[in-house]
Chain A
Amino acid sequence: MDLFAQLFVNGLINGSHYALLGAGFGLIFATTRIVHFAYGPIFTAAAYAAWFAANVLGLPIAAAMLFAALVAAALGTATYQYLYLPFELRQSSSHVALIASLGLFIVLENLIAIVFGTGGRVVDGYQYDIFLVGPVYFSSVQLGQVIAMIVLTASLGVYLARTRHGKAILATTDNPEMARIIGIDTVKVSRLVFAIGSALSAIPATLILLKDGATPSMGFFAVFIAFVAVIVGGVGSLRGAIAGGLALGMVESLGLWKIPTEWQSSIAFIVLFLVVLLRPQGLFGRAVN
């Protein structure tokens, strides 16, 4: 029972991390329909930006997180503006943006590896607290992952539902052509979602830096997990992405009960494989004829 409680909490923690990644990626994907693989290395870049701010500039963690969010937002917006937008204007097929995104993925990942080296980076002198509640252990960083998910997704939800810009985003997600007809500048909206989605990814990136350290290849798993969360939850739904991320974290964690550890990282891919084949509209999505 104690083991179950621990695995359950671990699942909740990792699930929160995945949910937040999914929320950022899902916002971009649902609104622009671009398969933004470069979300991965931008996540990595955010982790390194946080490391740079904390270690080299000596900023406090909160400031480093903010710095990372700004770097990620700038990178994300620039990617849209200079990589995807020209293809969009040329009305290229959706595969073209996807391939370009893969291209940018390997460019960024390897640039980061050259600049920072392939070894992991940790914030010197950072120590997290360990809490013991009943039979269950967790750290302050892990607590931060859960809180960050709740606070950020709730704020995002309110922003989308209540503000003018948020409503424009929802309208574009729903029907881009109709949005253009009623006078929404969809290019501006796309730029905005790239900024918000990328900035969102910087928070989990910083927390992973504090928890495990940063490596140049950390982005691949991040973008894939984000994708899985979105697909499992159903494209176009913030709640779906959160539910998808949490479900994935739980399956992965509780799966440890029966499945050897070396397979743990494959679980997400197998879940994705099965969901897309059996229920392409996502577990929580509506069936589209």
Chain B
Amino acid sequence: MEYVLHVLVMVCIYGILAISFNLLVGFAGLFAMAQAAFYAFGAYATAILTLKLGLPFPLDLLIGVALTGFIGALVAIPAIRISGTYLVVVTLALQVIVIAVATNWKSLTGGTDGLRGVPSLHVFGYALNNPGRFLPAAILALGVCFWIAWRLTNSPFGRALRAMRENESAAEAIGKDLLYMKVAVFAFSAGLAAVAGSLFARYLNYVGAESFGIDETIYMLAMVILGGTGNLWGSLLGAALLVVLPELLKFVTLPTEIADKSHLIIYGVLLIAILRLRPQGLLGERSTMRHLPHVDGASSHGVSMPKPLPKGEVTLEGRDLHRRFGGIVAVAGFDIVLKSGSITGLIGPNGAGKTTAFNLLTGFLSLDAGSISFRGHDITGLKPHDIVRAGVARSFQDLRLFTKMTALENVMVALPDQTGDRVLDVFFRPMKIHREEHENLIRARNVLDFVGLTHKAYETAENLSYAEEKLLVVARLLATGAEVFLFDEPLSGLDRSTLAEIFPIVRKLADNGKTICIIEHNLDVIKELCDVVYFLDEGHAMAIGTPSQLMNDSTLASRYFK
């Protein structure tokens, strides 16, 4: 019986670890393989604070969690610069370094002997010093950690995390601050792992470096993958299965050394098998929008298009923009002035610098020289998400939709000023967020209405047709609430009838006083849609004029068709 209770305590500890790791790997898509190091920080914090400083519960836990959360936040900073494979390797290195420090810093950690005699938890003078007594505390801790992770992932912040996982640059382009999000999710993930570490120290009354090696991180990864990335219940299931399954092996009589090794072999084989047979895990990711009500006839709720802005005012202005890539000059001395209520076309041969110009105007590339202002305010050198918030948003030629999210979520995540984007507000202002979510749902439905995608609201983006995807790109851009929209080939590859659907949408935006700039190759589209056209070549504007002026210019035509 004692043994069964012990296994259940271990399920709780690993449940917390798997949940914490899932936040990073599953929801945020950050493959940082140092989770066992965070686990170690929590365990050593409790051991050192109780043994060396005699701190009582819960001080050791709180300090440990805060400290580990802070370290997690520091790890997030490299995660901004590097991604994918490099993040995996750097964090593996970090994991090894942490364990080397734990092994070699004998005066603090006890070296290879570890720290013995960590005091058990006491509740009303009652020592939780056996599995049966400890289990309720472990279940309580698991419950609290699960609730924290649940709140986090089912909030607007969680939605933004998944958007970032799907496509980082697109998340930036709708105004999400990636640094903030990465720091926050790392801090939470590390802090939760530290809770598990503290429990471990209190339960076994011992902390040693060998419990937190790379094998442990892989073990947690196996739990997350087995249960399903992006599903918290899956992590619990994965933890339970991977703790219990190897225990069953104990009934087969094997020498202990071989038994230990065969556990690890089982994890490895299971990991590979699940990737092969069911890559989404036992429980796949579910849409977080399930619990939101379907709102029908949303436009009758009185939230409609914002009132029209005055036309003809200068909004976005770029002056003497320059950018080189190594020896190649992409943009050189480009000037552009966009006005509210007008549609500006950007044409020119391939390699003329059109997309680079967009990247410069929206902060995705830094300028070598030149300046950019929006409504008279200098926005040169701002980060992309700040530029979006200031009022200038762009779309991408290759769409970059959040493919695993529904059309509605794609739009909702892009709505500006969401209280729930801030992680502390998720926990401290739940009512405000709840109200906002309801309003945002209606706003998102209205945007979908506006582009004619209401019937696809609950369809995942990857299941949409090409034309619908293009419409969703427009919808997502509108949702940012920006004043200036830079569309990078929004119409390419569409047939006549779809074009006829999109034209009025773009026209209507301009009529409402929005500023529109479109990169386009199709001259018919330019003729039909644009008020002003910039002809770009060799990195700057060769000519500016109305569509008919430019099209009658034979030198430009020969440049374009060369």
Contacts and interface: CB of A to CB of B under 8 A. Distances in A.
Nearest to B257: A118
Interface in B269-298: 269-272, 275-276, 279
Interface string A98-109: 111011111101
A261 B152 CA distance: 45
A113 B469 CA distance: 53
B97 A110 contact: no
Interface stretch (B88-96, B120-128, B136-144, B521-529): B88-96
Contacts of B221: 99, 102
Contacts of A139: none
Nearest to B93: A269
Interface stretch (B76-84, B381-389, B452-460, B505-513): B76-84
A99 B86 contact: no
Contact of B268 (A110, A262, A276): A110
Contacts, number: 110
Interface residues of A, number: 40
Given A35-B85, A94-B85, A272 B262 contact: no
B100 A107 contact: no
A94 B276 CA distance: 14
Contact of B275 (A103, A114, A227): A103
A77 B104 CA distance: 39
B279 A273 contact: no
B93 A220 contact: no
Contact of A83 (B96, B225, B264, B272): B272
Nearest to B97: A269
Contact of B90 (A83, A86, A95, A276): A276
A276 B265 contact: no
A52 interface: no
Chain B interface size, under 10 / 10 to 19 / 20 to 34 / 35 or more: 35 or more
Contacts of B269: 103, 107
Contact of A95 (B31, B97, B218, B276): B31
B258 A104 contact: no
A270 B97 contact: yes
Contacts of A86: 276
B31 A277 contact: no
A273 B93 contact: yes
Contacts of B325: 289
B89 A99 contact: no
A155 interface: no
A107 B264 CA distance: 7
B302 interface: no
B307 interface: no
B66 to A, nearest CB: 24
B435 interface: no
Residue picked from B31, B267, B269, B271, most chain A C-beta under 10 Å: B271
Nearest to A87: B275
Contacts of A33: 85
A263 B104 CA distance: 8
Contact of B218 (A92, A102, A265, A273): A102
A99 B261 contact: no
Interface in B90-136: 90, 92-94, 96-97, 100, 103-104
Interface string B355-393: 000000000000000000000000000000000000000
Nearest to B25: A95
B78 A103 contact: no
Interface string A245-289: 000000000000000001101100110110011001000000001
A100 B222 CA distance: 10
B214 interface: yes
A111 interface: yes
A100 B272 CA distance: 5
A39 interface: no
Contacts of A265: 100
A110 B84 contact: no
B104 A262 contact: yes
A103 B218 CA distance: 8
Contacts of B306: none
Nearest to A112: B261
Contacts of A96: 275, 279
B198 to A, nearest CB: 26
Given A83-B272, A103-B222, A220-B214, A110 B93 contact: no
Interface in B211-268: 214-215, 218, 221-222, 225, 257-258, 261-262, 264-265, 267-268
The 5 closest A-B pairs by CB, nearest first: A107-B268, A103-B271, A269-B93, A110-B261, A106-B268
Given A107-B265, A289-B326, 6 more contacts: A35-B85, A83-B272, A87-B275, A105-B268, A106-B265, A262-B103
24 contacts: A92-B275, A92-B279, A94-B84, A94-B85, A99-B221, A99-B225, A99-B275, A103-B272, A104-B268, A105-B268, A106-B215, A109-B264, A111-B265, A220-B214, A262-B104, A266-B96, A266-B97, A269-B93, A269-B96, A273-B94, A273-B97, A276-B78, A280-B82, A289-B326
